[in-house]
Amino acid sequence: MRRSVFAGIVVLAAGCGDAGSGVDAAAPTVDTSLEVDTPTVRDVPATDVVRDAPDASTRPTFAPCTTTTQCGAIPMARCLTVADGYPTGYCTRGCTSDAVCGADGICLPYQNTSLCFRRCDTATDCRAGYQCFTARGTGDTAEHACFPFCSTDAQCPGAACNTYSRFCGTVDTAAADNGAPCTTGTDCRSGRCFTELSAASGDATGYLGGQCYSRCTILPAADYAGPTYPRGECPAHSVCEWGAGQSAGQPGLCRDECTTEADCRPGFICLHHDRGADAGATTNGYCAPMNCHYMAQTCPAFATCRTTASDDAGVATSGFCVRTPGSDAGAAPDATPAGDAGRLMDAASDGG
């Protein structure tokens, strides 16, 4: 069984440099306005809700647990266990509104019900193995909650930490690695896919064939000042992108590592980080959708350039590649549909 974990809106602005180096600070940005960030927890059994009398060491809401009995003092208690993907377990309860969850909780959909999750403003509000993500709303009205984000096997007793999905569980090595084409999160080891078409509008995003990615924790600024773009917590052959407006400790994106454009698929460039002053660009970078109106960047033969911005004189300055109708070249493989699943928001947090 495959379990999908629904994600909130992610707006990614990918800067593009020249066709050879892709230095991000020198080029116009491409606003792809993505709303897909769909992690899929694979082969995780549902937890039976135990209704025994509470034991002597009952736990408060959002505390670690191994059985629902340990959370028994909580009305309508449930323990989301390591087997469900939750690091060291997670005491929660059923809910119909935020008020049921108390001042520190938020009521969110989970499978065919709703459960309480811990509110947060930053990652420091979450316990080890969890990260603060946008759970509901956008911008200044966004509300955040703590969701699984394991980094070590010790946070998943009796199991392992899936460093792609950041839930407890094993990595599906038959699924695609970061940077590979995809049509939905179920194609990817991480359960996350930048899709070629918007799930909400059906419009093109600039990600020709889709692109698998995973999540990381943004490193301190000093780690991005060296000649090599850092990997951080990302799997091998990925780097941890420091997105515009983000700061250390917030959730970032693990992107496919590259050194030249030849390492990227058609429609993508190797985007290097400009370290500023006279330091120059990093020797490596990550594959990002090209700006087809910048310098020599040209869409592949099966795609055309869609303009997204022009200057005051009407000259196009920014755009991305869109597949020509009827062309299947470079398309992602068919995906296996996700099953009926628990859904939780999981997006880049502007407060975490």
Which of 23-32, 62-71, 204-213, 231-240 has the weakest average pLDDT?
A: 23-32
Predicted local distance difference test score (pLDDT) of residue 326 = 74
Cβ(70)–Cβ(90) below 8 Å: no
Contact residues for 303 (Cβ-Cβ < 8 A; gap 6+):
208, 266, 267, 321, 322, 323, 324, 327, 330
Q: Give the chain's mean pLDDT.
A: 80
Q: How far apart are alpha carbons 64 and 90 in whole angstroms?
A: 5
Q: pLDDT digit string (tens) for 146-164?
A: 999 999 999 999 999 999 9
* CA gap 17, 182 in Å, rounded: 25
Asked whether residue 65 carries a pLDDT value surpassing 70, the answer given is: yes
Distance between CA 46 and CA 68 in Å, rounded? 13
pLDDT at 88: 97
Which pLDDT belongs to residue 58? 74
The pLDDT value given to residue 57: 55
pLDDT digits (tens, 9 = 90+) for 162-218: 999 999 999 999 999 999 999 999 999 999 999 999 988 999 999 999 999 999 999
The domain ranges of the chain are 2-41+172-323, 52-151
Given a cut of 70, is residue 115 above it in pLDDT? yes
pLDDT > 90 in the chain, percent: 65
Q: Is pLDDT larger for residue 94 or for residue 21? A: 94
Residue 254 pLDDT: 97
pLDDT given for residue 194 in this prediction: 96
What is the average per-residue pLDDT within 94-120?
A: 95
12 pLDDT tier (thresholds 50, 70, 90): very low
**pLDDT greater than 70 at residue 86:** yes
| Tens of pLDDT, residues 27-51 | 333 333 333 343 443 433 344 333 3
Helix (H) or strand (E) holding 115: strand 113-118
* Token pair belonging to 188: 């990817």
The pLDDT, as a whole number, for residue 329 is 56
Task: Please give the average per-residue pLDDT across 283-303, as a whole number.
Answer: 94
φ, ψ (nearest 5 deg) of residue 148: -55, 140
The more confident residue out of 222 and 342 is 222
pLDDT at 350 over 50: no
Question: What number is the average pLDDT over the span 282-300?
Answer: 94
pLDDT value of residue 150: 96
pLDDT of residue 306: 94
* pLDDT above 80 (res 278): no
- Among 4-18, 219-233, 238-252, 280-294, which stretch is predicted with the lowest mean pLDDT? 4-18
| 349: pLDDT strictly greater than 90 | no
Per-residue model confidence (pLDDT) at position 73: 80
Cβ–Cβ < 8 Å for 7, 36: yes
Q: What's the pLDDT at 85? A: 96
For residue 87, give both structure tokens. 């690091």
For residue 78, is pLDDT > 60?
yes
Give residue 244's pLDDT.
85
Share of residues in the chain with pLDDT > 70 (%)? 76
